[in-house]
Structure 1
């Protein structure tokens, strides 16, 4: 009789753990965790380029990527202007430098770093949620400087836009 009772308790415990695991996994979400509930719409301003870099195309790349990422995330309804939340971004620096060159060496690789300042503003409560600087870098070969530089910048920009999305929707 005690074996049967022990067996029943074990089965019940395993079943309970299974239910908790299934229900718990269904409730967890990686994104959307800390968007304040009163913020339903988001307007994303065109990125401003204050970097003095000679190619202004990257401000449009950042703006487009941010719009695409937030549209795909579905944490907000995107609006052209006057959103409950507002996201502004500013390219503050694009720096290029050798990766490592010793005396007598020929430069083979360069590193390009982009820094973007972002302000996330709650227009409903009229307060800044955060103002942060995001920076990423990538290397490229000097032999492939023109396309390599562009690819490195676009890769860094994609990473920064991912970081911005994560910071906004999950508070990281």
Structure 2
């Protein structure tokens, strides 16, 4: 056991610190323009005002986790465009009486991050998917779905920034 203790500092020294900071972004990109997402959602889904919320959360995530600052379209080095393609809510599990126990909500997004200086697409995905689960609580009506949607938006924004700014 004592022999292994001396390995711990050595191991920690070699592990380093991992960060999702924009290490893979081209150096000429210093700003990003993120217009409000388009929406292809139909019917009841349009009652959930997701496009403004995902856009705002994505803007916050870019400025919080990368070196990029927000800019308007005319003064930007890059642009991140998104379109909401689908929002679904489906029962994930039932109890013994066939009553829903929890639901799964899924958001499908088409997105593209472009280097405007080099006129080059950095990352794009036509079916970026993110999902979240929530339990049925009849006393809270749609509050469970609303909280899950907020978590889903946060997770989707975080994952999109990681995918767009890191070369995997």
Q: The TM-score by the shorter chain falls in which range?
A: 0.7 to 0.9
Q: 1:125 aligns with which of 76, 95, 118?
A: 118
- Alpha carbons of structure 1 residues 72 and 102: separation in structure 2 relative to 1, 3 Å: closer
Q: Which runs of 5+ in 1 are unaligned?
A: 1-16
String of CA shifts for 1:8-62, please: whole Å, max 9, x gaps. xxxxxxxxx98xx49x948x65422100111121111111121221324211111
Which deviates the most, 57-66 or 128-137? 128-137
Q: What count of residue pairs does the alignment treat as equivalent?
A: 152
Q: 1:112 aligns with which of 105, 110, 113?
A: 105
Q: How far apart are 1:80 and its partner, in Å?
A: 1.9
Which deviates the most, 136-145 or 76-85? 136-145
Corresponding residue SS for 1:99: strand
Q: CA RMSD in A?
A: 2.5
Aligned: 1:157 with 2:153? yes
Q: Rg: which structure is higher?
A: 1
TM-score, normalised via structure 2 length: 0.78
String of CA shifts for 1:53-108, please: whole Å, max 9, x gaps. 13242111111111111122242121021311100111111011111337851223
Residue in structure 2 matched with residue 13 of structure 1 by the alignment: none
Residue in structure 1 matched with residue 129 of structure 2 by the alignment: 135
Corresponding residue SS for 1:118: strand
Residue in structure 2 matched with residue 68 of structure 1 by the alignment: 60
- Alpha carbons of structure 1 residues 94 and 111: separation in structure 2 relative to 1, 3 Å: same
- Alpha carbons of structure 1 residues 100 and 85: separation in structure 2 relative to 1, 3 Å: same
Q: 1:88 aligns with which of 70, 81, 104?
A: 81
Q: Distance in 1 between matches of 2:94 and 2:34?
A: 41
- Alpha carbons of structure 1 residues 116 and 145: separation in structure 2 relative to 1, 3 Å: farther
Q: Which runs of 5+ in 2 are unaligned?
A: 1-8
Residue in structure 1 matched with residue 165 of structure 2 by the alignment: 169
Higher fraction of helix: 1
User: 2:23 touches 2:166 (CA, 8 Å); kept in 1?
Assistant: yes
